[in-house]
A and B are shown apart, each in its own frame.
Chain A
Amino acid sequence: GNSVTQMEGPVTLSEEAFLTINCTYTATGYPSLFWYVQYPGEGLQLLLKATKADDKGSNKGFEATYRKETTSFHLEKGSVQVSDSAVYFCASFTGGGNKLTFGTGTQLKVEL
């Protein structure tokens, strides 16, 4: 079945630094890909998504491009803020049903 692999954390950055969190996928076909964010003590929120190759998802200054040639969906932000401190999960659908499978999560801490 499909799976996603994302970089280990934690990642610690200074405010206004550039962020990249790597995510690669294995899949038959081209599943929709997602980034979710989980702030401390909360549930998961959909951050952005891409449904086909070369799509770029974007939201709140975050971007990710669905690249089939490298089977990647890396999350980027040009200038992080302290409020971006959270855990970020890459995800894709597995199999023919609606089962969403998550990567291991990457904790981001942004310091002043």
Chain B
Amino acid sequence: DTEVTQTPKHLVMGMTNKKSLKCEQHMGHRAMYWYKQKAKKPPELMFVYSYEKLSINESVPSRFSPECPNSSLLNLHLHALQPEDSALYLCASSHDRVGGYTFGSGTRLTVV
């Protein structure tokens, strides 16, 4: 299995909703990442988990809450989002710095 699977593919949520994005990989990668990508822009790093521990938080607002239940799963819990949070949310995993990242196909989030 050489894939990173993200669900759902599309999500529309209101500003008072609570939702979660899910990411799964079975490649034995010990680092997992959340990126946010706005249209026509490069991905921006949000969080890095290394060996199931949060190692980097790029000053992301607390309405985004990551969770790494085990080495294969990564969640992003969403609460009280704003319309400007609408974007493509990408999950990725990596084994080391040499191989680069493997990305999922993303969740396209719309906040209404």
Give A contacts to B, CB under 8 Å: 31-32, 34, 36, 42-46, 49, 51, 89, 91, 93, 97-105, 107
Q: Are B100 and A97 in touch, CB under 8 angstroms? A: no
**20 CB < 8 A contacts A-B:** A31-B97, A32-B98, A32-B100, A34-B100, A42-B106, A43-B105, A45-B103, A46-B100, A46-B101, A46-B102, A46-B103, A97-B48, A97-B56, A98-B33, A99-B56, A100-B94, A101-B45, A102-B42, A103-B42, A105-B41
Q: CA A46 – CA B6 in complex, angstroms? A: 17
**Chain B nearest CB, measured from A37 CB (Å):** 11
Query: Which size bracket describes the interface of B in this complex?
Result: 20 to 34
Q: CA A32 – CA B102 in complex, angstroms? A: 15
Q: Are B97 and A43 in touch, CB under 8 angstroms? A: no
Chain A contact residues: over half helix, strand or loop, or mixed?
strand
Query: Which residue on chain B has the smallest CB distance to residue A34?
Result: B100
User: Which residues of B have CB within 8 Å of A49?
Assistant: 98-100
Q: CA A31 – CA B97 in complex, angstroms? A: 9
User: Which residues of B have CB within 8 Å of A51?
Assistant: 98
The 6 closest A-B CB pairs, nearest first, are A102-B42, A43-B105, A43-B103, A44-B103, A43-B106, A34-B100
Q: Does B43 contact A (CB under 8 A)?
A: yes
Q: Are A105 and B42 in touch, CB under 8 angstroms? A: yes
Give B contacts to A, CB under 8 Å: 6, 31, 33, 40-43, 45, 48, 50, 55-56, 88, 90, 92, 94, 96-106
Picked from B41, B88, B100, B104, the residue with its CB within 8 Å of the CB of A100 is B100
**Chain A nearest CB, measured from B67 CB (Å):** 19
**Chain A nearest CB, measured from B29 CB (Å):** 10
Query: Which residue on chain B has the smallest CB distance to residue A87?
Result: B40
